[in-house]
Amino acid sequence: MKGNRSESNQLKIKEGQRFPLTIKRMGIDGEGVGFFKRQVVFVPGALPGEEIVCEVTKAQGKFAQGKIVKLRKPSADRIAPPCPVYKECGGCQLQHLSYEGQLREKKDIVRQAFERYTKIDIDKITFQNTIGMDNPWNYRNKSQMQVGHRDGKMIAGLYSSNSHKLVDIGDCIVQHPQTNKVTNVVKQIANDMNIYPYNERKNSGILRTIITRVGFETGEYQVVLVTSKREIPRVDLLVQEIKRRLPDVTSIVQNINPKKTSLIFGDESIILDGKEKIEETMSEFRFNLSPRAFFQLNPIQTKKLYDAAKKAASLTGKEKVVDAYCGVGTIGLWLADGARELRGMDVIAESIEDAKRNAEAHGIEHAEYVVGKAETWLPRWENEGWHPDVVVVDPPRTGLDATFIETLLRIKPKRIVYVSCNPSTLAKNVNDLSKDYKLISLQPVDMFPQTAQVECVALLER
């Protein structure tokens, strides 16, 4: 009978059903979360504190998805989204929420993750307010606009969320203005020269994606044309026309991606004109960025994120520091002046070569970079008598590998500074490490205003 009762509980909500709903909190994807007959209901576009009439669009198991049919009591933080294609596009989720509201809710998203996945009393740790931006617009240094055809003209933009409908975006207000300008110019030139967009269904056309990256500090910018085949009709004329309309362009690159895939880049790149890489600076550091090199998308907030990591590390000049998942070495470089010795590792050999070059270019002689996993190198160094005092981790959204967590618990550095882009995996990993480590502080950082994403710097001490 118990089984039947729980089963009937799960089937109370049906598709098409309407009911009043109070939104209690924000979900990790920016949707409103309410409860009806003890079941969780996710409502995109609804804000905490709002009272709505909800219509169920999808009912499955223990939760349902709904839409707002009527807004009975709006949040005081609700505003009109300034982007004309906000609802269609799906690239941003929170333009209808005031910026003060966004910062508050992002802190709450981190809190929810720790309440759900750990037994830690979050009121007993230093949990700071989210570090925001003075101007939360035009902050992205790189755009990747897919191209298509509509009414005989080329369009460029993003696919609408959960669909294959391409939304034409002429002026994306979270992008650096230069990336918008370049995309529009290249789109117009390709249209005038009859360079057709790639059609996956028909396997026809050439141009797949227009990618633009700009150096906020240097003003250098690069345009990458991702094509389905190597041959571009009248390519010399195309390059000449881009240079005529964008005379200060630093680099024009073609990337070839012939596969039927959702991945943007293919394996081969050709320099059509200018330099292979553009330069960008952050404080006293200078970075060379090739088309496929990873670099933080919001350089203004990156400084604040790395400063928060540096503050958490509390370096005195005596510590041996490990930069795990080091990439091209950006966080390690930021911390280097406070470390006695710095070692970093990454599984991508090209990243390690870049990290070595970056350290050399900045006169950092006490850094060593190796190819491989942290769980391989840390025990090896330990056997050689080298023991880290501080380990800094900046993993992908999936979080730390279980074997790496075991390695940290075995090696026992004094401090772990965890830079996270996913509150859920951060909380789960902190819970696993809490056998030997105490969570001291949490610092949320808003790297992507107008979206539901939030970064966080956690400090753990043995």
Question: Residue 293's pLDDT is what?
Answer: 83
Band of pLDDT at residue 2, cut at 50, 70 and 90: very low
Band of residue 5 on the pLDDT scale cut at 50, 70, 90: very low
Q: Quote the pLDDT of residue 61.
A: 81
Q: What is the mean pLDDT of residues 152-160?
A: 93
Q: Which residues contact 110 (CB under 8 A, 6 or more apart)?
A: 127, 423, 426, 442, 444, 454, 456
Cβ-contact 409, 435 below 8 angstroms? yes
* β strands within 215-296, DSSP E: 221-227, 251-256, 268-274, 278-282, 285-289
* Residues tagged active-site: 421
SS3 342: strand
DSSP result, 268-289: EEEEEEE-S-EEEEETTEEEEE
When pLDDT is averaged across residues 271-299 and rounded to a whole number, the result is 92
- Can you tell me whether residue 227 is helix, strand or coil? strand
Torsion of CA 101, 104, 108, 111, to 10 degrees: 170
Is the pLDDT reported for residue 8 higher than 80? no
What digits encode the pLDDT tens for the residues 349-402?
888 998 999 999 999 999 999 999 999 999 999 999 999 999 999 999 999 999
- Res. 200: pLDDT tops 60: yes
Q: For 390, phi and psi rounded to 5 degrees?
A: -130, 130
Percent of residues, the chain, with pLDDT higher than 90: 88
pLDDT at 11 over 70: no
* Common-topology check for domains 2-78 and 142-289: yes
Rounded to two decimals, the pTM is 0.92
How high does pLDDT run on average in the chain?
94
Tens digit of each residue's pLDDT (9 = 90 or more) over 333-346: 999 999 999 999 99
In words, the CATH class of domain 142-289 is mainly beta
Residues 437-456, mean pLDDT to the nearest whole number:
98
Interhelix angle 374-383/402-411, rounded to 10 degrees, is 20
Q: Which pLDDT belongs to residue 201?
A: 84
**Mean predicted confidence (pLDDT) in 77-89:** 96
pLDDT of residue 90: 87
Domain ranges of the chain: 2-78, 110-133+298-461, 142-289
Is the pLDDT assigned to residue 66 strictly greater than 90? yes
The pLDDT assigned to 396 comes to 92
pLDDT digits (tens, 9 = 90+) for 407-434: 999 999 999 999 999 999 999 999 999 9
Who has greater pLDDT, 5 or 337? 337
The stretch 253-278 carries a mean pLDDT of: 94
Which CATH code is given to the segment(s) 2-78? 2.40.50.140
Q: Would you say the C-alpha torsion 241, 242, 245, 249 has a positive or negative sign?
A: negative
For the segment 302-310, the average pLDDT, to the nearest whole number, is: 98
Question: What kind and span of H or E run contains 341?
Answer: strand 339-346
CATH of 110-133+298-461, one of 3.10.180.10, 3.40.50.150, 3.30.930.10, 3.90.245.10: 3.40.50.150
pLDDT of 1 = 43
Q: Is 71 helix (H, G, I), strand (E, B) or coil?
A: strand
In this prediction, residue 202 carries a pLDDT of: 86
